[in-house]
Chains A and B, each alone.
Chain A
Amino acid sequence: MQALTPNNAVKLDAKISPAAPAQSGASVQWAVVNDMQIATAFASAEVEQARKKVLGVTDVSCFPRYGFKGPQAAQWAADHELAIPSSPNSWTLSDQKSLVLRLGGSEFVLEDQMGGVACEKLSSISARVAGVYKVPRADAAFILSGSAVLNLFAELCSLDLRPSALLANDVIMTQVAGISAIVIRQTHNGEPVYRIWCDGTYGAYMWETLIEIAVELGGGAVGLASYQH
């Protein structure tokens, strides 16, 4: 994964975050990360830290993702030294820096966190194997942090996502704000956060919806830069 490199000039060949159409504003700072233009800051660092403690919403659509499925998918992952969750609908960390989600029994999604290289490694494999199929991913992805995050979910999702119901390594495929999404609970730099993935075409809608509720609850948008370290 590339380092965060500020670049105010829009790179013409870079992708744009699926949530970007809803993130316009003079105070927004942009950078190109992993060939995707993404918002790195929405306000001063102090303001964003305060938002993060209450309810921070961060667009992390630029994290590299790699999907694969099929009857031999689990074996294929093991052959390439990827740690995979043993049970369906759960997740684990591979090499501490790559999130591996198991969706149902035979489909997997990898997402490199800051510093992860597993997606790059797997996408460089060109040999095709019977019973393993690549699944192109075009997700919008978000991190939700803060003490009021469950109040936000209470408005958007009909499932109980409290830690007592959503276990540490559970993967939930449900509807959030009326659209299909994947939800997990994760610890990021020691703080508990929730992650949401949805189809990229809903990225702007999801961002608007999350931000509207976050602002009502005393939080708001947080740039990717606050998760860089």
Chain B
Amino acid sequence: MKLLTCPMNGSRPLSEFIFGGEYRDAPDQKTCSDSEWAAYVHNRSGAPGDKKEWWYHSPSGTWFIAERNTLSDKVSRTYLLSANTNPTQEQAK
């Protein structure tokens, strides 16, 4: 059984979690160029490596960030977004 650590609920089986996609900083839509915005909307990085990802613990409704190496599938740490980013980024999400 694979386990993932939810920052609020502790270590739980992976079946309780839902993947929410890679966490990416959005460009400022008022100042960025069309091509920058198009790249943000349409392009994804499929290259394996260390990624920040959204994960959701469904029984408790907790969204959090997991830092995961997508090649080895090793999760280095998990945390609530608000604890590790500035307030503007959190509001943007």
Contact = CB atoms under 8 A, between A and B. Distances in A.
A158 B1 CA distance: 9
Interface in A72-123: 88-89, 103-105
Given A158-B1, A158-B13, A174 B8 contact: no
A69 to B, nearest CB: 10
Range, interface on chain B: 10 to 19
A226 to B, nearest CB: 29
Given A158-B13, A175-B15, A89 B8 contact: yes
Interface in A132-164: 158-159
A104 B8 contact: yes
A175 B8 contact: no
Contacts, number: 30
Range, interface on chain A: 10 to 19
Contact of B59 (A88, A105, A174): A174
B55 to A, nearest CB: 15
A187 interface: no
B60 interface: yes
A174 B62 contact: no
B9 A173 contact: yes
Interface of A: 88-89, 103-105, 158-159, 172-175, 180-182
Given A158-B15, A173-B57, A173-B59, 13 more contacts: A89-B9, A104-B60, A104-B62, A105-B8, A158-B12, A158-B13, A172-B9, A173-B60, A174-B59, A175-B15, A180-B59, A181-B59, A182-B59
Interface of B: 1, 8-9, 12-13, 15-16, 57-60, 62
